[in-house]
Amino acid sequence: MLDHQWLVYALHHQDEGSPYRYVGYTTVGMMRTFAGRHMDRAIGGHHYPVYVWMRSIGEENVGFSILEFCPEGDLEFIFSREIYWIAYYRELQGSLLDKKTENYLTNIADGGGGNIGYIATEEHRRKLSEVHLGKKKSAEHAINIGLASKGRVHSEEARQRNREAQSGSKNPNFGKVWSEETNRKRSESLKGHSVTDEQRQKMSYKAHLRHHVNKQKTKVDCKWCNGEVFEG
């Protein structure tokens, strides 16, 4: 049934009985996903943990198994099944965070078609830092980002997943208490701080993106809504 396109799958060593090392979903068919995505990226040197693992055993030794066929056209269902299988094998074998066994799952996120629960490796953090160091978004880029999100509505299930992913101990600031030294340094860094006209203009423009562009609203006394071009 490899002609069935919507399914959840796992990658593993071709040897019989080898543990699953990555779980994913596809809506374009297994062969296209395996050869056109995973193999190409592993050979191309992508640094995601799954591709590092594939190269470590040799791309030619990687196989796949189908965990579950899903009804075509139902994204919510296939997302939920990917989340289920990732959680199942993380509990069984461990994740990138705990590495409970040497055959831990290499998924960097919880699944569901997004980056919920995303785990960035140290190498990934370093490369992201290097790529974005000194970069500033142009006004056009900022506008395009706002327009891309215009009218986007998340399902209640997606909202609930986001809430759960950031609640309690999963929140990066959970239980964090600033030391007196940190509070003192923050206070000193703000003393005598003044906002320039250019900074005010940028803050005004960002507020316009949040409250007008993203919410598809127009305000009469907003200079951005009235078509003035931002050059900052």
> pLDDT averaged over the chain?
81
Burial class for 161, CB neighbours closer than 10 Å (0-12, 13-18, 19+): buried
Q: Mean of the pLDDT values across residues 150-158?
A: 73
Is a pLDDT exceeding 70 seen at residue 73?
A: yes
Span 166-178, pLDDT tens digits: 777 777 677 778 7
Is a pLDDT exceeding 50 seen at residue 79?
A: yes
**Predicted pLDDT at 217:** 73
Parse the chain into domains and list their residue ranges.
7-132, 136-152+195-232
**Predicted pLDDT at 230:** 43
**Predicted pLDDT at 231:** 40
CA angle 175, 178, 180 (to 5 degrees): 145
12: phi then psi, degrees, rounded to nearest 5: -160, 170
- Residues 54, 11 contacting (CB under 8 angstroms): yes
Question: Which position has the higher pLDDT, 62 or 177?
Answer: 62
Span 137-152, pLDDT tens digits: 777 777 777 766 666 6
Question: Which position has the higher pLDDT, 179 or 56?
Answer: 56
Question: Long-range contacts made by residues 210-217, C-beta under 8 angstroms, separation at least 24?
Answer: 213/143, 213/146, 213/147, 213/150, 214/146, 214/149, 214/150, 216/150, 216/151
User: Which of 1.10.3720.10, 3.20.20.60, 3.20.20.70, 3.40.1440.10 would CATH assign to domain 7-132?
Assistant: 3.40.1440.10
Where residue 59 falls among pLDDT bands split at 50, 70, 90?
A: very high
Residue for token digits 């994204």?
75
Span 92-113, pLDDT tens digits: 999 988 888 899 999 988 888 7
Q: Mean of the pLDDT values across residues 51-57?
A: 95
Whole-structure pTM value: 0.53
**Predicted pLDDT at 109:** 87
